[in-house]
Structure 1
Amino acid sequence: MTSPVRLGLIGCGRIAQVAHLPAAEKAEGIKLVAVCDPDASVTGAVAARYGIGTVHNDHTALLAEPSIEAVLIAAPDRFHFDLTRAALAAGKHVLVEKPLASTVAECDELVALVRTGGLKLQVGAMKRHDPGLEFAHRFADAKLGQIRSFHAWYRIGSIRPGVEATLFPKVFDDDMRRHAETTFKVDRERYLLATHGAHVFDTVRFLLGDVKAVTAAHRGFGRDHAWNVLVTLASGVVGSVSITVDVAGDGAEGIEVFGATGQVAVRTHFPFFRRASDVWAYSLADGVATVPVLADTDAYERQVEAFARAVRRDLPVSPDAEDGLEAVRMIAAVEQSVVAGAEVLL
């Protein structure tokens, strides 16, 4: 790329500070030129840490800057739709944290805006840029033949807070912000399904294609929740997805896919270890198992670099707005199936 994409960050909270800001600082093809957050103390601290000269506390002021070509939206989920719509209206390319928006209707509107506006909209399901999952995607297309079954799982472990305390840098925050976010997350069941389902459902579609129907069951255990989902692909293949928060001890994430001529198993690490997923892949035709050894493994850095290439070279983004819509459609379908006790068609 001849020149880096000039990027503004909207939302300087926890995910921005532990993931997006460190990634943007070292990513090729990106120059972070402005930050925005309603909390002036947070924007000031973030700007000082990263040497950013332009600070805003109102997103409309950032979006009005003609020198900013694109924005990374890392605000809480409930703001994704309004901020993304405003950014597209201002002529900015957008990388927005997952989920794309809170409802299917909001996602539909954003998809329509992208189709008619000519701007890039990438959803921050960064695991598509995990080189282990990228390998599994290529292997599934080339070696598995007809897909016959799959199982995906996403389990959050009870030790996660301690792991985060070990890995995360100091986060600039205040008690008022934390209290406000806790209040908005009071519907813990819905919050957990949306925030974790957005990842695992996107991974299923990335490796296996579109989904036709889901049948879901849910059980709550106080603050803990578990979903088990029977998933029917557009191809007719049936597999399963489980989401559990919390399990005692360590968490786990992965997917196993079985085809007529091979199988692939993926174990995905906690993203802040910055490790590629472990992959074991077997091809019947070759008669061998493959275990790739992968470098350049920070999925957050790789996703923003891919976004920059898409903007500069007019390439497709991944995941795009339609992928974001389908993930939210699956979240909504699981909610509907749990209530109805029946299969829900997408």
Structure 2
Amino acid sequence: MAFEPLRLALIGCGRIAQVAHLPALEKADGVELAAVSDPSPEVAEAVARRYGVTAAYTTHAQVLADPAVEAVLVAAPDRFHYPITAEALTAGRHVLVEKPLAATSAEAEALAELVGRTGLVLQVGAMKRHDEGLRYARRFVAERLGEIRSFNAWYRIGDLRPGIEATLFPRVYADRAARESEASFKADRQRYLLVTHGAHVFDTVRFLLGEVESVVARHRRHGRDSRDSWDQVWQVLLTMASGAIGTVNIIVDTPGVPSEGVEVFGASGSVRVDTPFPFYRQASIVRAYAGGETVTPALTDGDAYERQAEAFARTVRTGGEPDPGVHDGLQAVRLIEATAAAAESGQEIAL
């Protein structure tokens, strides 16, 4: 590390913060955890004790008033991403915000304008971009595949995931009242699942293949005990600005283990990426074919959450563009909205 550590505060100490961000920040080079905040004082104090942080707040306003804080990681629920991020940028703080960037494209556009006006760094927490396997695949697509013709991407949440999480996750401090309140906001399962999983898979497609020109989508629900527990399926056809066409498949839940990946087919070869459940902390497995040979690179750095925190700190300290930046976050939100509109209307939606 060739620069002073970035003094970062965590806003929101919920499950994703405790199982993903905090363990990554503890290891990340170039980052110093300066403060944590959560509306529950018990949760904020428990997390602060676990990670040896002296500043534990209950509001993000307290965080932004702390002169020791240079940047914030916003891990609050989705509906708070816009207001907290906007306030942080206005207060002169750099921001790493969990995906999705905002709840609507209008909010995301407002954040893009604010970034342009302040000149501060805003990085979106689509951490898959910092997966070594996906980064290898991106280079292979650009350098070896030639004209891209088609692709298939999938994001399938297996019904074995709860047991896998119970095995891999550390103890999570939680406020029962807050958990019940959040459950009510997630009751619109169709919207919540498309947003939370679509944000990842759509960003991955754009990361590998560029801009999307249009969306066609179909959605189906499959009932179990009640409407609230219906399984959900989206099948999406994307036409890229390059002319390539491909599919995105999102399924919640499917029997078996979680499965995520993408295949890309070009004029000169193909590449397949299989992305493990992120808490295994393994890089994606890549099988790349071109010129009559198949290559499977050995990739060992598998903590994408740690890599994204280090990339954020490096961008703040040394310059350059954040990856992904505010434009990428905006486009992901637009793709989520376009998919919902296309599934509802049955029409092709142009972006």
Settle same-fold status: TM greater than 0.5.
yes
Question: What do residues 202-249 of structure 1 show as CA deviations (whole Å, max 9, x unaligned)?
Answer: 000000000000000000113210000000001121111000000011
> Is 1:176 equivalent to 2:177 in the alignment?
yes
Question: Per the alignment, in what secondary structure is the counterpart of residue 216 of structure 1?
Answer: strand
Matches within 5 A, 1:1-346: 1-222=2-223, 223-284=230-291, 287-346=292-351
Q: Separation in 1 of the partners of 2:111 and 2:24?
A: 26
| CA distance in 1 between partners of 2:39 and 2:258 (Å) | 34
| C-alpha displacement of 1:165 | 0.3
Q: Secondary structure at the match of 1:127?
A: helix
Letter paired with 2:196: T
Q: Give the aligned residue type for 1:281.
A: A
Task: Report the Cα offset of residue 297 of structure 1.
Answer: 1.4
8 Å contact 2:11–2:76 — kept in the other structure?
A: yes
**Match of 1:319, SS?**
coil
Give per-residue Cα distances to partners, 1:173-220, cap 9 Å, x unaligned: 022111111100010000000000000000000000000000000001
Q: RMSD of the TM alignment (CA)?
A: 0.7
TM-score (norm 1): 0.99
User: Is the 8 Å Cα contact of residues 74 and 95 (structure 2) preserved in structure 1?
Assistant: yes
Quote the sequence identity (%).
59
Task: Say which SS state the counterpart of residue 197 (structure 1) adopts.
Answer: helix
Contact 2:34–2:68 (Cα < 8 Å) also in 1? no
Task: For 1:333 and 1:212, locate their aligned partners in 2 and report how far apart those are by CA, in whole Å.
Answer: 11
TM-score by length of 2: 0.97
Summarize deviations over 1:107-129 as a string: whole Å, max 9, x none. Answer: 00001111121100000000000
Name the structure 1 match of 2:227.
none
Deviation at 1:250, TM superposition (A): 1.2
> Deviation at 1:262?
1.0
User: Which consecutive segments of 4 or more residues in structure 1 shift more than 2 A?
Assistant: none
Q: Give, as a single letter, the amino acid of the residue that structure 1 aligns with 2:325.
A: D
Could you give the per-residue CA deviations for residues 34-90 of structure 1, whole angstroms, max 9, x where no partner exists? 001110000010000000001110111111112211000000101000000000001
- Superposition deviation, residue 299 in structure 1: 0.3
Cα distance between partner residues in 2 of 1:160 and 1:296? 23
In structure 2, what is the Cα distance between the partners aligned to 1:80 and 1:10? 10
Amino acid at match of 1:93: H
Q: Distance in 2 between matches of 1:118 and 1:217?
A: 40
Kindly provide the amino acid, as one letter, of the partner of residue 270 in structure 2. Answer: Q
Q: Deviations over 1:9-47 (max 9, x none)?
A: 000010000000000001000000100111000001000
Per the TM alignment, residue 159 of structure 1 is displaced from its structure 2 partner at its CA by 0.6
C-alpha separation between the residues in 2 aligned to 1:248 and 1:282?
30
> Matches of 2:67 and 2:42 in 1, distance apart?
25
1:296 is displaced (CA, Å) by 1.8
SS at match of 1:169: coil
Q: For 2:343, give the aligned amino acid.
A: V
1:314, distance to aligned residue in structure 2 (A)? 1.1
Report Cα offsets for 1:122-165 as digits up to 9, x if no partner: 00000000000000001101000000000000000001000000
State the alpha-carbon separation in 2 of the partners of residues 90 and 107 from structure 1.
18
Q: What is the Cα deviation at residue 2 of structure 1?
A: 2.4
Q: Which letter does structure 1 place at the counterpart of 2:263? A: E
